[in-house]
Structure 1
């Protein structure tokens, strides 16, 4: 099936369920990444951690693409692949790792969660997706939940300005990467877009190769295994399921779905790290999930154009 055929099929009733399932896998794996990053942050510099994650993900994705005989994307897809590869796979991962070394996790999550708002705005303008009222309402609710989570988990110390600016840059890079990736999916398959985007990000991060080798020589096995996990699952698998879901829905709706990540992070930290969340944190997580549910609701159907 060609990418265009797949895109057309996404408009038919019932196929959105597969997009929702793919989005749920993405949210779960991206949430788990926070725990793995935290376990590796003391042993890997931000650029080295990003490069190790991308190298692992690239190897897995190239093998998958070869097995599926995916081939090379058509020329029309390359601007979006290269743009999203540099900004999302490259810049985003490095500056987010760096920012989280300077500010607490709650503050970082609150700033990075500007990303879905930017996706909705950029998608509405540049991708002509419009501004559906239910999407905007759901994003407002989820953003309020993210703010609650951020304040409930923020440390008492002052956050360095540089850390806040880095998290803001991560949000901009994330949103820009998503909006650039969406048009590429009209011409290439999700696996192609993800594989070559990850390879592009890997090339962009090669200057950190020396630091990665140095960190690998000193890091304990558990930290190295966390980097491998980040590459295989939150990168190779989760970015592929993301691209699949994005090819079957709008960038705005996909961005709103990621508001569920903080709520899932709370649950994983509770189960894996025995970090019992407070009542305010649980409330914020519930509000995030409620906003995602509102954003995914279908509004009134628009009448078909006369020539449809």
Structure 2
């Protein structure tokens, strides 16, 4: 990678990593559903303005139902689930749990698409979920409360995995940035259900929490998609999306510096298991070699 591509890559990792502690700060004043809605309203407002300035066309009518569905799964479910989960799960551990998204995506691709998960991929899936179990026992808090939080975050990861699995054809048609504009706005529409009470929370929120949510809406929800698109255009999808594997390390470091969070050794050990498992799940088996050659670089994220 050249310097510009490396800078864009590192920016993606750092910004996405900063989102997890940012949510923690926002939750000090906002309920999970209002934090997620406020964040998405800010992001959608900025993207609508961008769309108007750049004169981005509306999607084809026939694609609207799928855009709404993927927006709901990839943004409504993901951001709401993550916000609820971080009520009881630390920011760093949350980032480790979200890293299971590629595992869910691989399984969904096996079930619904022509993808085939290799034997080592299935082993990787088992290792990753073993890591999740270790993380669960290493949180050092009330196990029942933590378990609920972990379930919320895994639901978030599952929703995002649907988005990543079924977005490919639409990315090819509209491009990464344009398609993400459509789906972010679509996800925000569904979250308007949480609108009652948001104004009161905004008025009563601390300055730090409000600024944190504004940051979440303008930066982690938008900027990484632009930088990731640039890296994909220069270095290919495989190298670009390796940022997903580095995000937990970034989140753990930023959470320690920002919030003073220090994960337990068992959580870190479980996180290593999870990341190793996710990495193994991406390994192609011999039965997929020719298919991999024929379909090289088709993956968009």
TM-score by length of 2: 0.75
Equivalent in the alignment of 1:221: 207
**CA displacement 1:140-175 (0-9 Å, x = unmatched):** 555544544443334144337755553443233222
Count residues in correspondence: 286
| Aligned residues of 1:182 and 1:246 also touching (Cα < 8 A) | no
- Structure 2 CA distance for partners of 1:226 and 1:177, relative to 1, 3 Å: same
Please state how far the C-alpha of 1:219 moved relative to its aligned partner.
0.3
- Distance in structure 1 (CA, Å) of the matches to 2:143 and 2:127: 27
- Distance in structure 2 (CA, Å) of the matches to 1:160 and 1:275: 16
Please state how far the C-alpha of 1:24 moved relative to its aligned partner.
5.7
- Structure 2 CA distance for partners of 1:246 and 1:58, relative to 1, 3 Å: farther
- Distance in structure 2 (CA, Å) of the matches to 1:63 and 1:299: 46
- The 5-angstrom pairing of residues 152-191 of structure 1 reads 152-159=138-145, 163=149, 165-191=151-177
Please state how far the C-alpha of 1:264 moved relative to its aligned partner.
2.5
- The 5-angstrom pairing of residues 223-242 of structure 1 reads 223-241=209-227
The reply to whether residue 95 of structure 1 matches residue 81 of structure 2 is yes
**CA displacement 1:66-109 (0-9 Å, x = unmatched):** 444432234564343221111221122223322333x4338866
- Distance in structure 2 (CA, Å) of the matches to 1:26 and 1:293: 19
| Aligned residues of 1:143 and 1:259 also touching (Cα < 8 A) | no
The one of 64, 68, 78 equivalent to 1:78 is 64
- Structure 2 CA distance for partners of 1:280 and 1:95, relative to 1, 3 Å: closer
The reply to whether residue 198 of structure 1 matches residue 198 of structure 2 is no
- Distance in structure 1 (CA, Å) of the matches to 2:121 and 2:139: 27
- Distance in structure 2 (CA, Å) of the matches to 1:162 and 1:291: 23
The alignment's C-alpha RMSD in Å is 3.8
TM-score by length of 1: 0.74
Quick check: 138-147 or 91-100, which moved more? 138-147
SS in structure 1 of the partner of residue 249 of structure 2 = helix
- Structure 2 CA distance for partners of 1:144 and 1:276, relative to 1, 3 Å: same
- The 5-angstrom pairing of residues 22-33 of structure 1 reads 25-33=11-19
Quick check: 178-187 or 220-229, which moved more? 178-187
Quick check: 47-56 or 141-150, which moved more? 141-150
**CA displacement 1:114-143 (0-9 Å, x = unmatched):** 533221111233332332456555555555
- Distance in structure 2 (CA, Å) of the matches to 1:214 and 1:142: 41
- Structure 2 CA distance for partners of 1:151 and 1:110, relative to 1, 3 Å: farther
Unaligned runs of 5+ in 1: 1-13
- Distance in structure 2 (CA, Å) of the matches to 1:277 and 1:161: 16
Quick check: 132-141 or 166-175, which moved more? 132-141
Equivalent in the alignment of 1:302: 290
| Aligned residues of 1:259 and 1:288 also touching (Cα < 8 A) | no
- Structure 2 CA distance for partners of 1:164 and 1:291, relative to 1, 3 Å: closer
Unaligned runs of 5+ in 2: 295-301
SS in structure 2 of the partner of residue 129 of structure 1 = coil
Equivalent in the alignment of 1:104: 89
Please state how far the C-alpha of 1:200 moved relative to its aligned partner.
0.8
The reply to whether residue 42 of structure 1 matches residue 46 of structure 2 is no
Quick check: 107-116 or 23-32, which moved more? 107-116
- Distance in structure 2 (CA, Å) of the matches to 1:226 and 1:215: 14
| Aligned residues of 2:20 and 2:95 also touching (Cα < 8 A) | no
| Aligned residues of 2:23 and 2:86 also touching (Cα < 8 A) | no
- Distance in structure 1 (CA, Å) of the matches to 2:246 and 2:24: 19
